[in-house]
Structure 1
Amino acid sequence: MKKVAILTISDSRTLETDKSGKFITEKLTKAGLAITTRIVVNDDLVNIQAAYLQLEQQAPDIIITNGGTGIAHRDVTIPAITPLLKRLLPGFGEAFRQISFEEIGTRALASQALAGFNYRYQLTYCLPGSQNACQTALDKLIIPEYEHLLFESSPQRKEVHHHAH
């Protein structure tokens, strides 16, 4: 069973009022993943990095952040997390914005949602704080593909040449 840590980034939410964090927890639990930790941190670059690295040390398979992915002055999740990632998966953000564009129109263009792997090969997703956005990402992009991404990126995996499917 894959282990997931959830980091909610918000100036206003607490663990009790963190609807998106609770939603992600319920959704992934139903999908057969184990949520090991859920924490809330404020929109502060250093605090976000400290919390993320703390989660990274707990050795989850996946770390999901939610909140702070927009373009407002306080939205610093992306500049905080990006330097901690070894490899980005640009296709995730592109697909997320495309799907969101179909749902909410041009407002989707302000989303900097991203995915990648950190230096410990943990799959990281940075999602917006809105519950609808989290649901879109989980249903359409994360739940269908996380196992394949983790398998492909595993350092234990022997390089086998095969054609893309």
Structure 2
Amino acid sequence: MTLYYDETGDTKLPFESLSIAETVIQGTLRYLESPYDAEVNLLLTMNNEIREINQEHRNIDKATDVLSFPAIDFEVPGDFSDVSTFDLNPETKELILGDIVISKEKVLSQGDEYGHSPLREYAFLIVHSVLHLVGYDHMEEDEKETMERIQKAIMEYLKISR
């Protein structure tokens, strides 16, 4: 797996965010039975920057916890059988999944708010985002239920609990 990682802002997370991200992304893809190694871009940033990105791309003028920008339009969520060679990095043959942007401030505040560790919140946001990158969504009630069920199963699979 290739993880292009960048971090902006002065706030630091109280754990090794790069290695956790690699573990969570790889574990999520293993759980989903992806036959590919993946390439993902991850940006850890601050509320003001994620707010600007959210405004620019979604026309929503507020900070959010995580944004996902899929590189592939999965017809069926999590179905890797329709992946074409155009979706693969020609040099590494890794599946180019897309971009994840996470607010470090939200990781810390939501961990407190939901009564669990920042590490658990960070891992959850990555799992949530990877599911978006492979086509899952939560706009409709049935999609939301499916995504929540899979997120819970992946967190258990990764042995990251509340």
**Would you say same fold, with TM above 0.5?**
no
Q: Which has the higher contact order (CA 8 A, sep 6+)?
A: 2
TM-score scaled by length of structure 1: 0.38
TM-score scaled by length of structure 2: 0.38
